[in-house]
Amino acid sequence: MSRTAKVNLMPRRHRDRLSQQIKVRRWKRIVAAYAGLMGMACAGVWALQAQPSAAAAKPAASTQALRAQDKQALTVALETEVAAYKLTQQRADFVREQPDFGVLLELLARKSQGRAMLTRLDLKPENIDGQPSAYRLELDGLAQSPREAAGFVLALEDTGVFASVRLLGTARAQEFGLALTSFRLDCELAPEPGGRP
Amino acid sequence: MIATLGWNKRSPIGIDVGRRRVHAVQLERRRGWRVAAAVSVSRQHEGVALSAEEAIRLRGVLQRAGFRGVSAVLAAGPQSTVSSTVQGPAGATDTQLDAVVRHELAGMRAADPQAMEAAWWPLPQGPRQTAVRECQAVGLLHDDAHAMLDPLEQAGFEVCSIDTPATALHRFCGPRLAEAALDGRAFAVLLDVGWTGVRIYVFDALRVRYQRSLNDPAIGPELQAIGANFGADTPERAERVVRQMMDSDDVHDANPVAVETMARLARIGARLATEARKSIDYVQGHEPGATLRGVWLCGGGAGLAPLRMGVEHGLAAEVSAIECLGAAANAAPDRELEPYMATAAGLALWGRTP
């Protein structure tokens, strides 16, 4: 740096006064800048506080969304539960509304006694529009002779439980060391007067 | 606001109040210092102190010319300052030397030392001055300082310093001094050729070694006499006529008037060379082995080629006008800062590294 870089012949008192003025002005600017910054900060805080719709709307919206989600979840859960309940109810109804097959089996056992021996019993519901409207009973069995088998068919028809009893076929069978006659029956259970099987 | 935070790239306004004109320059930092604005205004009343009215007018001119801010640096002219080489005891501290300087300078003006502001800088110690501590000193009376400050402050300027033309020019020449690689024993001579007077400065890399005013070889009367041949009745017209004549092709022809003008300017240059030689001899006598590394011209006469050639011939050394800092923002793109603006530009660099 040059030795003559900062020669200043301004009177000392004048220089001090100028220096003081510059300092005061600088401090004024600093204070003004500080005040400005504080003002901006306050304005920012005020803006944050005074805009709940803007600032708090988002939480509210999110809460609403959560609530909607919860509601939807609850609805789904309830619907699932209701559906499960309905299913249970339907099952209960189904069980409750089923014919008393025990009676049928007892009937079959009684009518076949001394004539035939059942080897297969298949009860099939016949659905119309998804609802069981009738039942079909398929029977396989053995009889001592074709005549006994036919007598079994007639005995079933006489019960009145079946709308129809059809002998689908007979055939010779050798079972238990005996010459027997196997048969197959197709029986349709007669519906109740109310339409229920 | 930007200025408050210290990001202001503009320098203070350097104001060089001369007898005939006021030169003002403001620089800005753009990869080094460049001229942001420059203006030269004619004085309303030649040779008198600046009045408040003139200062207000000046401020208006500066505002219109693209100057920014009110911070200004002034130059105390040789008429108001007192300068001298002062010697103190070899073991004197800076405080003691300061008191000696103040006392010496005040004595030259028969004034109270407390009524004067002084500045000084040490000079290199010669082989025969081991018993003394020598310095170059400059002083300004408080009354003179207030006479300079008051009008400008009334006009709204905020003067941050009163500098001297010598130190301002030294500052302005800083890059050139560095380029000339002046070591402790090398120096350069700067001739400030003004209308009303010539000043000779001797610079080394760090300081103003020596300064001297010459009134005799002033170019003003010569130019006016030359201009009178062409009907120029004012100094400005005379200067313009001479400059135009120097720039015209007539110089190269055998135009008797042009040849006569060149001869007169060359004679002024030769007289300047003689005076410059005295200063060079003084420095070299004071410090044997000191070498001259350059002779430069500034001021209004720096642009007159015959004058420069006269100095070159007289000193048997290459002489050049000091370069300008670059095109002024308010000047035409092809016009650079004139050499007579160098002092104002140096003032604008006050407190800053050139």
DSSP letters, B175-187, are HHHHHTT--TTEE
Q: Are B166 and A3 a contacting pair at CB < 8 A?
A: no
Kindly tell me if the per-residue pLDDT of B30 is higher than 70. Answer: yes
Report the Cα A70 to chain-centroid distance in Å: 16
Q: What is the ipTM of this complex?
A: 0.81
The A-side interface with B (CB below 8 A) comprises: 1-12, 14, 18, 26, 29-30, 33
Q: Which two tokens stand for residue B131?
A: 């018993």
Range in B127-131, B195-199, B207-211, B327-331 the model is least confident about = B327-331
C-alpha gyration radius of chain B? 21
Q: Which two tokens stand for residue B96?
A: 């003691």
Q: Which two tokens stand for residue A168?
A: 């689908």
Residue of B nearest to A16 (CA): B160
Euclidean distance between the first and the last CA atom of chain B, given in angstroms as a whole number:
25
Report the Cα A16 to chain-centroid distance in Å: 89
The DSSP letter of residue A191 is P
Residues from chain A that touch B160, judged by Cβ atoms under 8 A, are 18
C-alpha gyration radius of chain A? 50
Q: Are B117 and A12 a contacting pair at CB < 8 A?
A: yes
Kindly tell me if the per-residue pLDDT of B325 is higher than 70. Answer: no
User: Residues B232-282: pLDDT tens digits?
Assistant: 666 666 666 666 666 655 455 556 666 777 788 888 889 899 999 999 998
Sorted by sequence, the CB contacts under 8 Å of residue B83 that are 6+ apart come out as B105, B136, B137, B138, B139, B164, B166, B211
Cα torsion A56, A62, A66, A72: sign? positive
Kindly tell me if the per-residue pLDDT of B9 is higher than 50. Answer: yes
Range in B87-91, B105-109, B335-339 the model is least confident about = B335-339
Alpha-carbon distance values, A187 to A138, A143, A162, B203, B215 (Å) = 6, 17, 6, 137, 150
Q: What is the per-residue pLDDT for A197?
A: 42
**Residue in B166, B207, B351 closest to A6 by CB:** B351
Sorted by sequence, the CB contacts under 8 Å of residue B264 that are 6+ apart come out as B222, B225, B226
Residues from chain A that touch B159, judged by Cβ atoms under 8 A, are 10, 18
Sorted by sequence, the CB contacts under 8 Å of residue A83 that are 6+ apart come out as none
User: Residues B125-174: pLDDT tens digits?
Assistant: 766 666 788 888 999 999 999 999 999 999 999 999 999 999 999 988 88
User: Residues A134-171: pLDDT tens digits?
Assistant: 778 888 999 888 888 888 888 888 887 888 888 888 88
Q: Are A4 and B122 a contacting pair at CB < 8 A?
A: no
CA distance B324 to chain A (A): 19
Residues from chain A that touch B174, judged by Cβ atoms under 8 A, are 2
The DSSP letter of residue A52 is I
Kindly tell me if the per-residue pLDDT of B74 is higher than 90. Answer: yes
Q: What is the per-residue pLDDT for B247?
A: 62
Query: d(Cα B184, Cα B290) in Å, to the nearest integer?
Result: 8
**Residue in A7, A10, A33 closest to B159 by CB:** A10
B284: exposed, middle or buried (Cβ count in 10 Å: 0-12, 13-18, 19+):
middle
Q: What is the per-residue pLDDT for A54?
A: 55
DSSP B122-161: EPPPPTT-TTEEEEEEEEEEHHHHHHHHHHHHHTT-EEEE
Alpha-carbon distance values, B345 to A68, B95, B136, B278, B324 (Å) = 76, 31, 23, 28, 9
Q: What values do phi and psi take at A136, rounded to 5? A: -115, 135
Cα torsion A49, A51, A55, A60: sign? positive
Residues from chain B that touch A2, judged by Cβ atoms under 8 A, are 170-171, 174, 205-207
Task: Kindly give the pairing relationship between strand B186-193 and strand B198-203.
Answer: antiparallel
Mean pLDDT score of chain B: 82
CA distance B117 to chain A (A): 5
Q: What is the per-residue pLDDT for B151?
A: 93
